[in-house]
Structure 1
Amino acid sequence: MRPIAAVTLAALLALPLPLATVQAAETASSGPMHALSLYGDIKYPADFTHFDYVNPEAPKGGAIRLSAFGTFDTLNPYTVKGTAAFGIGLTQTTLTVPSADEPSTEYGLVAQTMELAADRSWLIFTLRPEARWSDGQPITAEDVAFSFQILKDKGQPLYNSYYSNVTGVEVLDAKRVKFTFSPGENRELPSIVGQLPVLPKHYWATRDFAETTLDQPVSAGPYRIASFEPGRQITYERVKDYWAEALPVSKGMNNFDRIRYDYYRDVTVTLEGFKAGAFDFNSEHSAKNWATEYKFPAVSEGHVITEKVPVKGPDREQGFIFNMRRAQFQDPRVREALAYGFDFEWTNQTLFYGQYTRTRSFFENSELAAVGLPGPEELKILEPLRAQIPPRVFTEEYQPPVTDEAKGGLRANLKKALDLMKEAGWTVNAAGKMVNAAGQPFTFEILLRQADVERMVLPMVKNFERLGITATVRTVDTPQFISRVQSFDFDMVSAVWAQSNSPGNEQRDLWSSTAADIPGTSNLAGLKSPAVDSLIESVIAAPTRADLIARTRALDRVLQWSFPWIPHYYGAFERIAYWNVFGRPAVTPNRGVVFQAWWFDAEKAAKVVGRKGGF
């Protein structure tokens, strides 16, 4: 399960139940609850006043600037068309919100209470009477049901599979709405239904939800749009009479009066903007920049703070994804071979200053990652699928290629790659080109959207050349990149996606055979495997945390030996740099910085020299 801002619900709306049936069903339930959890491990009691990782007395005020990359042309983040503005989620609302210091617990936001059937076949949300839209109208059960339907009909296809076990939604009265689930074990369904974005029916009923729009929609979040210039900047202002301000889930959050995102189209210019004080907070993803670019005077003088914050659990998985819809990538031996062309050890030391560890799992940095050989619990899951999965799942621990100088270094790796390519029917001709039996050369394109990634890709391209393979690099702007990725119009792409400590329904979107054929999903690799489909369903149906871990590890093993990617690297930390104008809570959860819980410190800001971030 991962928190989402926009989903499409792939389900059929059920007919309303007779009143007597509803009343009978409601008696066999949990009773009203303040939170939903995957396995019942709820940290905060019903009378909690705030999360532990906030300062409930944090002052409100101040104006800060942040950066955004690329451009935007729509204020609707829920559809395929267009590129939504950064920060637009600040204006939105959901039924529940997750806590950042628990693996899988959601607390009521628009929903005051949740009532879950004893057999988990249905869930009733009772909405808060004070919940209202920015135009003053109350948020109703009709809005929730409408949101379900409009996202299903016209929203992004990305999460069609995420809600495929929701079979109906029913308005019980003005403040009560009921979701019905298909039979079977799917423990996270109640929690992920709580993540449903709630949209105003009265606003969208007369507008085309599927189209891009620069009209500011009616919303119900803690911020509203104050001003914007498409592709240049967007400014949000805090809603002073925000209806949820006093709720425990809101205490200590959303403290800045104004937040402005300025758009940049070059990462080098972005960093120079931060150093010049043009914006206030920077999350640095470049190891080279971190090692070489944060030695400017404002840092040594204490006006800019740099920090590496430890992070536990899977978060950003990244790699070069093969589009297996392309003929040249359909043989797993070819995909395995090309991984030998990426020299991680050289890349890490030369380009990244030794800051990273090689990724080997699709759930890296967590207990969910498969290591060693399958244990007894995993074997129970894998044995019935033995005929459908790579044999090495049972006999070898997957490890990505290592450039070991004592064993021949890169030359030995390329020799291994050539052997694998030969096994797959490819040979090097007299002209030094890798060709198939028909004489067709092996060529492909690597799609990027940030030019700074080229320094990592180009040495790999040179290694491919030594194999007789022609790989070209194409770096495009953000709208073109998004359009091509959503339509699977690429050969290989450098991609990043989110994982969570409690994987579940979102794995369908990442790896299922169904998702492979739906443009806009996250199955970029186009993986189609009945075994993977079965393992995904077993993860979704895990009845306990121990079962979830074993089933996720089994899925991880099969993905590893399917070679859908050339894995990159990770650091169990996030690098942040910020002008010293902030206050922050004493506690940072394992998942990392919760920036919404920071606040503007006017006293600090008065002492800072060189900052231009205010506006």
Structure 2
Amino acid sequence: MRTRLYSSLTGLAFAIASLTSSAAIAETSEPEWRHATSLIGEPKMSEGFLQFPYVNADAPKGGRVRMAWTGTFDSLNLVPNKGVTPVGLGLIYDTLTTPSDDEISTEYGLIADALKYPEDYSWVIFRLRSEARWQDGKQITAEDVAWSFDKLRELNPIYKNYYEHVTGYEILSPTEIKFSFDEPGNREAPQIMGQLAVLPKHWWTAKNKDGELRDVSRGTLEVPLGSGAYRISDVVPGRSISYERVKDYWAKNLNVNIGKNNFDLVTFEFYRDETVELEAFKADRFDWRTEATAKNWATAYDIPAVNRGDIVKEKFSQTFRGIGLMAGFILNTRKEKFQDRRVRRALNYALNFEEMNRTIFFDQYSRITSFFNGTKLASSGLPEGRELEILKSLKSPVPQEVFTEPYVNPISEDSRQERSNLRTAIGLLREAGYVQKQGKLVHEETGKPFTIEYLMNGGRFERVALRYKASLKKLGIDLQLRVVDSSQYVNRVRSRDFGMIYSSWVQTLSPGNEQRGYWGSESADDAISRNYAGIKEPAIDELIEIIVNAKDREELTAATKALDRILMWEQYVVPGWTSPFSRVARWDRFSHPDQLPEYAVGFPTIWWWDEEKAKKIEEAN
């Protein structure tokens, strides 16, 4: 960035002098301790605040909540990338910092009461609270933090990648630890370290009740020691897990925890079949269900409990206010047939979203038009201003349409538009070397039929896939549906053994390091990255680095829009659909603060058991 600011030798000499002077000042001025850190502006809550504004400080403690999850689990050790851990395991562990649900990318002290870092973000120091305790009463120390960091990075490739820019740490005292980073300017680095899950070194390095030394590198069903507001009280491997509230939780009176963790018991039941799960909810086997299927929302809840008001159906917008979502049919460009952008574009022209929305989605969705859909970071129109400058400054080529044509998805409101889209798709495929023979699309030179294996995690999406299959058949493409169970799906996705999957990426309003794992070239061959499409584009790599090292909000926004624009025009994904609401059905046994936080529903964390409501339901049944 300095080379763009100083183009002459005189200017460069002045810059060096300025940098030398700045370094001298930095050596003598120590950064101040901070109670919080934010990637967008200043933290909303000042030091010493009493509670978050979206909680009820007088919320009663007690009762229980029963949740459900699709899948299974076989380990209670979150460290190694082995086995499957249960949802809710984070309830037993505290982190150095904790987020606010009323702010974007803001973290407040939890285990750490303060942190400090220099203006160039080249390091961060956390100061731990002396009262922070494990559930056995022992103090949480900087040594626990260091050991947790070492083991997570050593034994789990996900964390190894996540912390790849950490060059090392230094334990300054039992309650202070310093992490250093490999490059200045990475504003996310201190926050990333604050999100570290801290584990008890003394417990993991001791012997279990059978006299055997515990091994943190292996999966286990032994109940681990935690530091959080809950502890595991009951486990049925693969089927259920219960967390009970810790009555003497060390941090229960901290300002970041007032009004939270109100239930005495939180239980998760695991289901492998979503139809069975839905029926279990209606039979009052669990309390809260987020409905992912539009048809179910429209037709499956016409039951007495809903009509009586025992079950409440409600849409919440909070969870979508601060995120950008891209979901769709992801094309594996490691496969030769998908390496041609014209082929990928043709597959988008073949998708008739409008017909599906009318006939099977009950008009509940809208088409996704951006990788940051629904946010101010989404690109639109033609690039201008700072965004245009960034695009023109890239050393690597970008699609020409980025500068000349706003990206739009094909629309099929009627049969005329559908036929037009299919003709466009056929033209693109012909340009890419494919021809139709006897109703099948084949490669003109090799004669090989065009087939796509669509890998599916269970059968819930099958009716959508069948509609897409019918549309592709009109082009002569054979979409082969391959339904597998969750474990097979995970293994095949990690080994990149698929042609197409339907998945998603969720974005924050402060994109940064995670973009490397989504579409950076280095992550394309990493089995545990979310670069499902296998993207390797130098222009995208350049933009990711500009985003990570953006000097201000204007540059971050402009670079993100430029990245979004290229991703859309490269057509790595046939965009899917979304709704700006979470559809929730719940048994009416709970209450919540009058004003929920801006960016989260907060269930069950800030909700509470309502004895009066629960009694009415019991009497009705």
TM over 0.5: yes
Letter in 1 for 2:198: V
Give the residue type in structure 2 aligned to 1:548: L
Aligned to 2:456: 448
Structure 1 residues 398 and 460: alpha-carbon distance in aligned structure 2, compared to 1, 3 A threshold: same
- For 2:474, the equivalent position in structure 1 comes to 466
- Structure 2 matches for 1:138-287, cutoff 5 A? 138-155=139-156, 157-205=157-205, 206-287=213-294
Q: Is the 8 A contact 1:434 1:467 kept in 2?
A: no
The answer to whether the 8 Å contact 1:115/1:123 transfers is yes
In structure 2, what is the equivalent of residue 18 of structure 1?
none
For structure 1, which segment, 50-59 or 478-487, has the greater mean C-alpha deviation from structure 2 after superposition? 478-487
CA shift, 1:25, in A, is: 7.7
In 2 relative to 1, CA 492–353 (structure 1 residues): closer, same or farther, beyond 3 Å? same
Are 1:309 and 2:310 counterparts? no
Shift of the alpha carbon at 1:92?
1.8
Deviations 1:303-329 (A, max 9, x none): 111111123132543111111111111
Query: Does the aligned pair in 2 maintain the 1:29–1:115 contact within 8 Å?
Result: no
Which residue of 296, 299, 302 maps to 2:306?
A: 299
* Aligned counterparts of 1:433 and 1:164: Cα–Cα separation in 2: 45
TM superposition shift of 1:202: 2.2
Matches of residues 12-91 of structure 1 in structure 2 within 5 Å? 28-91=29-92
Deviation at 1:79, TM superposition (A): 3.0
Which range moves more in the overlay, 435-444 or 412-421? Answer: 435-444
Paired residue secondary structure (2:394): helix
Give the stretch that moved more between structures: 331-340 or 586-595. 586-595
How far apart are residue 104 of structure 1 and its match? 1.4
Aligned to 2:9: none
For 1:70, give the aligned amino acid.
G
The structural deviation recorded for 1:266 is 1.3
Are the counterparts in 2 of residues 169 and 180 from structure 1 also a CA contact under 8 Å?
A: yes
Contact 1:574 1:592 in 2 (8 A): no
Q: Classify the secondary structure of the residue corresponding to 1:452.
A: coil
Task: Note if contact 1:141-1:174 (Cα within 8 Å) is conserved in structure 2.
Answer: yes
Cα drift, residue 30 of structure 1: 2.8
Q: Note closer, same or farther for the CA distance 1:347–1:608 as it changes in structure 2 (3 Å cut).
A: same
Question: Matches of 2:334 and 2:294 in 1, distance apart?
Answer: 33
Distance across 2 between alignment mates of 1:101 and 1:548 = 22
Say whether the 8 Å CA contact 2:154–2:160 is kept in structure 1.
no
Q: Aligned equivalents of 2:600 and 2:306: distance in 1?
A: 22
SS at match of 2:424: helix
Asked if the contact 2:241/2:269 (under 8 Å) is kept, the reply is: yes
Contact residue 276 and residue 610 of structure 1 kept, 8 A: no
Q: Is 1:561 matched with 2:569?
A: yes
Q: Is the contact made by 2:92 and 2:229 (CA closer than 8 Å) also made in structure 1?
A: yes
Q: Distance in 1 between matches of 2:528 and 2:99?
A: 25
Equivalent residues of 2:315, 2:583 under 8 A apart? yes
> CA distance change for structure 1 residues 491 and 562 in 2, over 3 Å: closer, same or farther?
same
In the superposition, the TM-score normalised over structure 1's length comes to 0.92
Take 2:607 and 2:79, find their aligned partners in 1: how far apart are those partners?
27
Residues 1:587 and 2:595 are matched in the alignment: yes
User: Which of 338, 349, 367 does residue 340 from structure 1 map onto?
Assistant: 349
Asked if 2 retains the 8 angstrom alpha-carbon contact of 1:83 and 1:479, the reply is no
Distance of aligned partners of 1:433 and 1:421 in 2 relative to their CA distance in 1, 3 Å threshold? closer
State how far apart, in whole Å, the 2-side matches of 1:557 and 1:25 are.
Answer: 39
Of the structure 1 ranges 205-214 and 365-374, higher mean CA displacement relative to structure 2 is found in: 205-214
Match of 1:533 in 2: 541
C-alpha separation in 2, matches of 1:521 and 1:160 = 11
For residues 27-60 of structure 1, the C-alpha deviation after alignment (integer angstroms, 9 at most, x for no partner) is 6333211101124411001111111111111111
Describe the SS at the equivalent of 1:317. strand
- Answering whether residue 361 of structure 2 is matched by residue 349 of structure 1, we say no
Partners of 2:259 and 2:458 lie apart in 1 by: 35
Q: Does the CA contact (< 8 Å) of 1:159 and 1:506 recur in 2?
A: no
Matching residue within 496, 499, 520 for 1:512: 520
C-alpha deviation, 1:183, in angstroms: 3.0
User: CA separation in 2, counterparts of 1:53 and 1:569?
Assistant: 31
Supply the distance in 2 between the matched residues of 1:55 and 1:280 (Cα, whole angstroms). Answer: 21
Conserved 8 A contact 1:225-1:235: yes
- Listed as ranges, the gaps of 5+ residues in structure 2 are 1-24, 206-212
- Determine the C-alpha separation between the residues in 2 that align with 1:515 and 1:65: 38
SS in 1 for 2:616: coil
* Maintained 8 Å contact 2:83/2:219: yes
- Gapped runs of 5+ residues in structure 1? 1-23
- Is the Cα–Cα contact under 8 Å of residues 340 and 417 in structure 1 kept in the other structure? yes
In structure 2, relative to structure 1, the CA distance for the partners of 1:548 and 1:62 (3 Å cut) is same
Judged with a 3 Å threshold, the aligned counterparts in structure 2 of structure 1 residues 365 and 97 are, in CA distance, closer, same or farther, namely same
Q: Which has the higher contact order (CA 8 A, sep 6+)?
A: 1
The residue type paired with residue 327 of structure 1 is E
Q: Distance in 1 between matches of 2:287 and 2:615?
A: 14
Q: Equivalent residue for 1:137?
A: 138
Bigger shift: residues 34-43 or 572-581: 34-43
> 1:165 deviation in Å?
2.5
Query: Distance in 1 between the 2:217 and 2:145 partners?
Result: 18
| Alignment match, 1:5 | none
Superposed CA offset, 1:259-318 (max 9, x none): 111111111111111111111011111111111122211112111111111231325431
- Report the 3-state secondary structure (helix = DSSP H, G, I; strand = E; otherwise coil) of the residue aligned with 2:321: coil
Q: CA deviation at 1:164?
A: 2.8
Q: Which residue of 370, 381, 390 corresponds with 2:390?
A: 381
Establish whether residue 108 from structure 1 lines up as the match of residue 121 from structure 2.
no
Partner of 2:443: 435
How far apart, CA to CA, are the structure 2 residues paired with 1:396 and 1:217?
56
Count of residue correspondences: 587
CA distance in 2, matches of 1:496, 1:116: 34
| Aligned 8 A contact 1:584 1:597 in 2 | yes
Residues 212 and 380 of structure 1, relative CA distance in 2, 3 Å threshold: same
Amino acid at match of 1:99: S
Please report the TM-score for the alignment, with normalisation by the length of structure 2. Answer: 0.91
CA distance in 2, matches of 1:108, 1:145: 18
Letter in 2 for 1:104: S
CA contact 1:274–1:280 (8 Å) conserved in 2? yes
Q: Alpha carbons of 1:279 and 1:287: their partners in 2 closer, same or farther (altered >3 Å)?
A: same
Identity %: 47
Maintained 8 Å contact 2:324/2:375: no
Kept in 1: contact 2:324–2:371 (CA 8 A): no
Cα gap change, 1:64 to 1:340, in 2 (>3 Å): same
Letter in 2 for 1:115: K
